[in-house]
Chain A
């Protein structure tokens, strides 16, 4: 018996799925609304400011085009970059001092912030109180004051520090700077980490509990990976703030990028010192921003379609 008529293969494919459409409308003439005028004006001003800075840098290094000459081309570029040849090397060394200072203290800050976060979130009132007081103090006072107090303050406690054999550590300005920056950034990092962990819904803990997973495993495998996605941007912000905040370190004789800038400026009174410093800080922050975009793409790839 074969009277059940199967639909022919043809009928599955519709001959015409899309009706011919009318062509898209011609682009409309966009009117010059006041918003557009303001926007365009701003953009023009920004471009002009950028060109102005480039012109300023070229001008202060006496870059000029010379027509005619013996080379292959009829035009050659001359320059007289006395500022850069004299202070360029110092700028680069200052740049690396800043990088080193920020990266070392950020890493140490991560290590210090983990136990402090655990303390801060613990049920013990004493541990929680200690961590709370720590964060309260280091977030509530300026970094400048902390660096100054730690360096010059330690100096006035030389004898007690010598008696416990710690003076060698505090004698060195670099150690004091790293310590002060670490203590400061750890306080901020505790709050970033705590906030992101607490932002995870309670249901995640309960579901894991229902599956019989131990608490530490739930934290390590379920809560923390998600919390880190939330905290990624705040961490990036914290690094950027540290990069710029580290510019005060010259008060304790460490010549970072800003210190070298001020030194070059105090010798030459040439404003290009500050322009180069701004560019160098921008490069650092922009590199970090791009790296952070990559990391975020990687961490959130399961959320993308």
Chain B
């Protein structure tokens, strides 16, 4: 066989494989952060779990594909997807305009507001910018909630932490006057033993220009078909009650929004 022929054969086999992939995806690699309880975290048994993970598994079952989970640090989440290290992000990622410039999203699978928590003995009772004026607020860097914190509480001192674990440590030990994050995150923390230091004082109304359009599944640009399949699967598990089962396991109210 001549070299040219061999090259042609190899090329053809590649195109055949990629054509097959376009037709039917049987295996998906999904990335999550793994440090954002209750949405995604490593449980005491060392297994990745949480609302995102369970919803993701339900979506995969609905789409009849095999899913393989991996963890990725938050800052590298989108570059990793673009570089093809995994095929989808299910990591409580808000659908914002800035992110839409780089990747595509499915429809939202939950939408919960930014919420403020303070120590139990705090005199602060309101979440207006005036009430938190000059106070130290903690948030996770790179999240929509941190953008909200810096925009709305511009007269407060906003400290940004690598993950939610660190700001929880710092409000427990009294370095912070308040923390801001997703309602689900703060609620499940306050309901646990570790969160006994603090209380929730209120949630901000959802502002689409800051919060985006809720939390979606991220996929690479050009894979809108895959995003569409995720959207359909989200509506399907919403309709057949799987969503409610998972939702009730984690939250007292419906997280779906809208």
Interface residues of A (CB under 8 A from B): 152, 155-156, 158, 171, 173, 250-251, 253, 255, 259, 262-263, 265-269
Q: How far is the CB of B176 from chain A (nearest CB, A)?
A: 10
Residue of A nearest to B150 (CB): A263
Q: Are B160 and A155 in contact (CB under 8 A)?
A: no
Q: Are A253 and B159 in contact (CB under 8 A)?
A: yes
Residue B238, interface by CB 8 Å:
no
**Chain A proximity mask over B144-157: 1 for CB below 8 Å, otherwise 0:** 00010000000000
Q: Are B141 and A155 in contact (CB under 8 A)?
A: no
Residue B257, interface by CB 8 Å:
no
Q: Select which of B98, B161, B162, B173 is within 8 A of A158 by beta carbon.
A: B173
**Chain A proximity mask over B104-147: 1 for CB below 8 Å, otherwise 0:** 00000000000000000000000000000000001001100001
Residue B235, interface by CB 8 Å:
no
If A158-B174, A171-B175, A266-B75 touch, whether A250 touches B162 (CB-CB below 8 Å) is yes
Q: Are B162 and A269 in contact (CB under 8 A)?
A: no
Residue B101, interface by CB 8 Å:
yes
Residue of A nearest to B102 (CB): A269
Query: Which residues of A have CB within 8 Å of B99?
Result: 269
Query: Can you report 17 A-B residue pairs in the complex whose CB atoms are below 8 A from each other?
Result: A152-B169, A155-B172, A155-B173, A158-B173, A158-B174, A250-B160, A250-B162, A251-B161, A251-B162, A253-B159, A253-B161, A255-B160, A263-B142, A266-B142, A267-B98, A267-B147, A269-B79
CA distance A171 to B162 in the complex (A): 18
CA distance A184 to B132 in the complex (A): 37
Query: Which residues of A have CB within 8 Å of B191?
Result: none
Residue B170, interface by CB 8 Å:
yes
Total number of B residues with any Cβ neighbor in A under 8 Å: 23
Interface residues of B (CB under 8 A from A): 74-75, 78-79, 98-99, 101-102, 138, 141-142, 147, 159-162, 166, 169-170, 172-175
Query: Which residues of B have CB within 8 Å of A171?
Result: 174-175
Query: Which residues of A have CB within 8 Å of B170?
Result: 152, 155
Query: Which residues of B have CB within 8 Å of A173?
Result: 159, 175
Query: Which residues of A have CB within 8 Å of B141?
Result: 250, 259, 262-263, 266
Q: How far is the CB of A252 from chain B (nearest CB, A)?
A: 8
Query: Which residues of A have CB within 8 Å of B74?
Result: 266
CA distance A263 to B158 in the complex (A): 13
Residue of B nearest to A262 (CB): B75
CA distance A156 to B172 in the complex (A): 9
Q: How far is the CB of A52 from chain B (nearest CB, A)?
A: 18
Q: How far is the CB of A273 from chain B (nearest CB, A)?
A: 11
CA distance A70 to B147 in the complex (A): 42
Q: How far is the CB of A211 from chain B (nearest CB, A)?
A: 59
Q: Are A251 and B142 in contact (CB under 8 A)?
A: no
If A265-B75, A267-B147, A269-B102 touch, whether A155 touches B161 (CB-CB below 8 Å) is no
If A267-B147, A269-B99 touch, whether A152 touches B166 (CB-CB below 8 Å) is yes
Q: How far is the CB of A133 from chain B (nearest CB, A)?
A: 28
Nearest first, the 7 A-B pairs at minimum CB distance are A266-B142, A155-B173, A253-B159, A269-B102, A158-B173, A251-B162, A152-B169
Residue of B nearest to A265 (CB): B75
CA distance A79 to B78 in the complex (A): 27
Q: How far is the CB of A264 from chain B (nearest CB, A)?
A: 10
Query: Which residues of B have CB within 8 Å of A255?
Result: 160
Q: Are A269 and B78 in contact (CB under 8 A)?
A: yes
CA distance A51 to B159 in the complex (A): 38
If A155-B170, A263-B142 touch, whether A253 touches B98 (CB-CB below 8 Å) is no
Query: Which residues of B have CB within 8 Å of A265?
Result: 75
